[in-house]
Structure 1
Amino acid sequence: MAACGPGVRLGNWEEDECLEKDRLRDFMHKRERGELLIQKINKLQDTLLKKIQLSVSKDGFLHFGDTVMLLNPDNKSSVESHPGVCGSLTLAISLDEIPMYSAKSLHAPCGVGGVKSVDPVGRNTFCILSVDGDAVGEPIRFGQNFGLGTTGGFSDQMLYLASDHKSFTRSAKKSYLQQVFLTDELSHLTCWQASFLDPQLRLEYEGFPVPANSKMIITHCHTNRSLAVPRKFWTRSYFGKEYEVICHTYLDSHKAEEDKNYWEIVTGNPSDEDGTVIDRPNLHQGRIRKNEFCEET
């Protein structure tokens, strides 16, 4: 029996060759139409990391229709308890499984996380929405319901920040507390309120406009629990390390919220189109006096 040389074909070589040609044609066709997974990921990344210009507050207050960032400010207690988690964190869209998403839209429900980036981009900017019929441009007041929507850089899609009571099948992945997520439906689960930081003055400030770029408490209306970043729970997403954002009210011995519940709603820098107010030097974020509210109202 003659030995087989290197040029001798064995088995179903013709079928294998046809299958290889079909795979190549399919690959070329998808590449031309931009349907390859790597192409979708690159387009999605470009969209979510697209620079966004924040709204500029001319009177120092927040208004319906403003484009803002939600920032959990840096603080001494978090540095002492979690030394590796220093710096401010912003609320952002979190992508755990890239194949679930296309280049043109995000699938709800979608996760959120706290990220160290404080540059306004598609994934960490939100629009303040009215849920009671208030007009765009009207100031938001302490104790008033509002919504937070993000387009994620997409012009034809908006997701809404939401939360719901925890259950056996629905809770945060790491802390097992009340989860926060993004949904595509406006409902009672997407309603939030801003509360004055000092609980002893909270009732006095009820109904006054909410100042921009100042510390406050953001509470979920349906569950009456406050938005928080514990900073000791983190996960890995497509964009890297992100800290878990939940709804849970952390109280100290004086029955006041801890800094895990502190938030600043950041607006744009009037002297820099691409910057934020937190980028401005010597920014004083002291307590706003009540008579200042009265002058504006």
Structure 2
Amino acid sequence: MPCSVSNFESGSNRYRPNVRIGNWFENNCLEEAKMASFRKMRDRGELLVEKARKLFDNFQKEVQLAAPKHDIMVGATVQLMPIYMNILDMDTSELHPALSVVINEHAIRTSQTINEDCELTVAPSERPCIRNSFRIVSGDEHDRTGEKLKYGQRFRLECVESPDDPILVYSAPKLNNLSQSINTTFNSQKYGEINLPLGLVHRSKIMCPDGDIPSAFTNWYCMHVDPCKRFESEGETLPSNSPLVIVHAATNRNLAAENVVTQTLFGPEFLVSCQNYRNVFKREIWKNVWMISNGHHTHASH
């Protein structure tokens, strides 16, 4: 008599669609743990999307510049803007580029405000905001608020809305092993040599006697854009929205807007460094020509 397979032993009844195979219980527990972790991070505001939203709100907060005047005053809130950007196949007339603070993707998880881990770039500036506005303070330890800034006078650039411990813009020479003392995500080069980058430092660190960053590294001064007029213009008041050269006092390198584009959280922006760019006539080219804008718009030509 031939053998017959019972219904209990048939494959169709043994494995039905509702039968779970594999580590289904472990996978279910893992999904529940992920959802619980997501809800907990959402309630505490630790989600990356919420941190990014808070970051943009903090960095893009609008700032009121100093009252429009023909001269730059110590203590005024200003923008540092290149006169123009000579970029091939790119119209930069409507960009209104300005020196700006940018945060990298790794530091966004720990802080959503301006801190020492932030870097500096030249970014399009539709309006003055926290990231592209700076306060001019005296280069010495005296309070010179309200005085007119002059050619050759040392000054410092302080981030707007800094806490009790202000954050200053600085640059530094290379170390003994020729490595950079400021760590940045991207670097620009001139003839194969890496340019000096810019960084941010708290004021309390430069005032410490045994600190790693001397206070002189935060000092800057301005020169006349015409080399033939620099000697006679020394000590004269600094005009606003006029071409000039901004020099880092410790390294004698000029503030330079590089024609190198990098991608940031705020979009494509240009690199900035401390490097001297001159033509055959020993005159600074467009990379080293800036203007200090306080909202008083004049026709700046170079």
When normalised by structure 2's length, the TM-score is 0.80
Is it true that 1:218 corresponds to 2:243 in the alignment? no
Instruction: Report the 3-state secondary structure (helix = DSSP H, G, I; strand = E; otherwise coil) of the residue aligned with 2:263.
Output: strand
Partner of 1:174: 188
8 Å contact from structure 2 (residues 243, 301) kept in 1: no
8 Å contact from structure 1 (residues 111, 180) kept in 2: yes
Aligned in 2, Cα 1:134/1:200: closer, same or farther, shift over 3 Å? Answer: farther
Identity among equivalent pairs (%): 32
8 Å contact from structure 2 (residues 246, 290) kept in 1: yes
Q: CA deviation at 1:261?
A: 0.8
- Runs of 4+ in structure 1 displaced over 6 angstroms? none
Aligned in 2, Cα 1:122/1:224: closer, same or farther, shift over 3 Å? Answer: same
Partner of 1:242: 269
Instruction: Report the 3-state secondary structure (helix = DSSP H, G, I; strand = E; otherwise coil) of the residue aligned with 2:121.
Output: strand
Q: Distance in 2 between matches of 1:12 and 1:217?
A: 67
Aligned in 2, Cα 1:100/1:157: closer, same or farther, shift over 3 Å? Answer: farther
Which has the larger Rg?
Answer: 2
Q: Distance in 2 between matches of 1:74 and 1:39?
A: 36
Aligned partner of 2:57 among 5, 24, 46:
46
8 Å contact from structure 2 (residues 257, 270) kept in 1: yes
Aligned partner of 1:148 among 152, 157, 160:
157
Aligned partner of 1:89 among 97, 102, 110:
97
Q: CA deviation at 1:285?
A: 4.0
Is it true that 1:69 corresponds to 2:87 in the alignment? no
What is the CA deviation profile of residues 202-244 of structure 1, one whole-angstrom value per residue up to 9, with x for unaligned ones?
A: 121211221111111100000001101132x121111111111
Q: Distance in 1 between matches of 2:138 and 2:125?
A: 27
8 Å contact from structure 2 (residues 151, 236) kept in 1: yes
Partner of 1:122: 130
Instruction: Report the 3-state secondary structure (helix = DSSP H, G, I; strand = E; otherwise coil) of the residue aligned with 1:200.
Output: helix
Instruction: Report the 3-state secondary structure (helix = DSSP H, G, I; strand = E; otherwise coil) of the residue aligned with 1:202.
Output: helix
What is the CA deviation profile of residues 51-73 of structure 1, one whole-angstrom value per residue up to 9, with x for unaligned ones?
A: 11111144x21112111110001
Q: Distance in 1 between matches of 2:294 and 2:33?
A: 53
Q: Distance in 1 between matches of 2:257 and 2:199?
A: 14
Q: Distance in 2 between matches of 1:6 and 1:190?
A: 70
Structure 1 letter corresponding to 2:127:
D
Aligned in 2, Cα 1:21/1:286: closer, same or farther, shift over 3 Å? Answer: closer
8 Å contact from structure 1 (residues 217, 226) kept in 2: yes
Is it true that 1:8 corresponds to 2:44 in the alignment? no
8 Å contact from structure 1 (residues 95, 239) kept in 2: no
Taking the TM superposition and a 5 Å limit, the aligned residue runs for 1:165-204 are 165-166=173-174, 168-170=178-180, 173-175=187-189, 176-184=194-202, 185-186=205-206, 187-204=215-232
Aligned residues: 268
What is the CA deviation profile of residues 150-206 of structure 1, one whole-angstrom value per residue up to 9, with x for unaligned ones?
A: 14x665664321112246432862322121222334422111001122221112121
Q: Distance in 1 between matches of 2:280 and 2:27?
A: 72
Aligned in 2, Cα 1:35/1:242: closer, same or farther, shift over 3 Å? Answer: same
Structure 2 letter corresponding to 1:90:
A
Structure 1 letter corresponding to 2:99:
L
Q: Distance in 2 between matches of 1:8 and 1:241?
A: 52
Structure 2 letter corresponding to 1:225:
R
8 Å contact from structure 1 (residues 105, 154) kept in 2: no
Q: CA deviation at 1:11?
A: 4.3
Q: Distance in 2 between matches of 1:179 and 1:159?
A: 16
Partner of 1:163: 171
Aligned in 2, Cα 1:98/1:240: closer, same or farther, shift over 3 Å? Answer: farther
Cα RMSD (Å) of the superposition? 2.5
Q: Distance in 2 between matches of 1:99 and 1:226?
A: 28
Q: Distance in 1 between matches of 2:89 and 2:21?
A: 64
Q: Distance in 1 between matches of 2:52 and 2:162?
A: 14
Partner of 1:272: none
Q: Distance in 1 between matches of 2:237 and 2:109?
A: 38
8 Å contact from structure 2 (residues 115, 167) kept in 1: no
8 Å contact from structure 2 (residues 59, 113) kept in 1: no
Instruction: Report the 3-state secondary structure (helix = DSSP H, G, I; strand = E; otherwise coil) of the residue aligned with 2:116.
Output: coil
Aligned partner of 2:139 among 131, 137, 147:
131
Q: Distance in 2 between matches of 1:164 and 1:24?
A: 47
Q: CA deviation at 1:5?
A: 2.0
Structure 2 letter corresponding to 1:177:
N
Structure 2 letter corresponding to 1:67:
T
